[in-house]
Amino acid sequence: MKMAPILLPLLLAGSLAEACEGLVVERQWIREAPPGARVMAGYAELRNEASSLLVINGVESPGYFEHTMIHETQLVEGRARMAPRETLEIAQAATLSLAPGGLHLMLMQPVSDLALGAEIPLTLQCGESRTEVRFLVRASAP
């Protein structure tokens, strides 16, 4: 490990890449899936505490979901559509909200049923860096 010991607590076991610089994730949760639903959505507040633009360009959760994407729900003339987003850009000191009806992490084909209260590791990708965060499965927003 080339990381300074002080950084170690910021890293979660098993992740070798550096964490996304400045990324702070709060109020993260995954909506509990109704029985039979094969797609879930993850929400969070993403804050950028670094002194430069933070660009998130992917999310993954191998072992929990077969397919994951960044999505945005858009309402156009009364119609809801989910559009994939390549990146999420967060300005210095800004907070980006992933919330119902808007930006979300699209979590498709869960490998098993994820019960209420389960903690699911999701990895946010920022270029070569990776931050792993545990998302709690909840019935509604924290």
Partner 1 sequence: MAATDRTALALFVVIALLAFALGIHFARKNAPESSAPVEGMLWPSPPRLEAFMLDGADGKPLTEEVLAGKWTLLFFGFTHCPDVCPTTLSTLREVTSLLKDSPEFAKNGQVLFVSVDPARDAPADLAQYVGHFDRSFRAATAPPARLAALTSQLGILHTRVKLGSGEDYTVDHTASVLLIGPGLERLAVFSAPHAAPDLAARIRQIIEFLQD
Query: Which residues of this chain interact with partner 1, rule CB under 8 A?
Result: 31, 33-41, 67, 69, 71, 73, 75, 78-82, 84, 100-101, 104, 106-108, 140
- Residue closer to partner 1 by CB (options 4, 113) is 113
Judged by beta carbon distances under 5 to 8 A according to partner kind, the member of Cu ion, partner 1, none in contact with residue 130 is none
How big is the site for Cu ion, counted in residues (CB under 5 A)?
3
Question: Beta strand pairing status for 23-31 and 129-138?
Answer: parallel
Q: Which residue is nearest to Cu ion (CB)?
A: 71
Looking at the DSSP bridge assignments, the partners of residue 47 are: 24, 95
Q: Which DSSP category does 34 fall into?
A: P
82 is an interface residue for Cu ion by CB under 5 A: yes
Minimum CB distance to Cu ion, residue 65 (Å): 12
Please enumerate in sequence order all residues whose Cβ is within 8 A of that of 14, keeping only pairs 6 or more positions apart, or say none: 132
H helices, E strands: number in the chain: 0, 11
